[in-house]
Structure 1
Amino acid sequence: MLIARWIFLLLGVAAVVSFAMYIGTGQVRFRHYGLVIVKWAVFAGLAFFAVLILERLAILV
């Protein structure tokens, strides 16, 4: 659980930094990096919650 929190925190910080760099420099590559990081953060969140749901289902069976 702690590792997942750190991963989400670091992905969020990395995305914010990428978007701030895009705003500061105007270079499109930083926006692209930010969007890729957000995509992976959403994927990691869905995977994390899927594991939690499967764990709950396994306990019920």
Structure 2
Amino acid sequence: MLIATTAAQPKLIGREAVKAALKAVKGQPVDKVVEVPAVPLSRDDPKTLADYASSLKNVN
């Protein structure tokens, strides 16, 4: 039985990728690894699940 999982943050991942690309174009050093925190999701926290689902609908 799955009790909890994590989810990615596509908007934040994209934002960090663009920041790194702009640095690279300017000849600035770019980190080899950029950590983006995962969102913990649990059936015990329906508000976080609803907020995450809503945030995916607004990715643009």
Q: TM-score, normalised by structure 1?
A: 0.39
Specify which structure has the bigger relative contact order, considering alpha-carbon pairs within 8 angstroms and separated by 6 or more residues: 2
Q: TM-score, normalised by structure 2?
A: 0.39
Of Structure 1 and Structure 2, which has the larger fraction of its residues in strand? 2
Of Structure 1 and Structure 2, which has the larger fraction of its residues in helix? 1
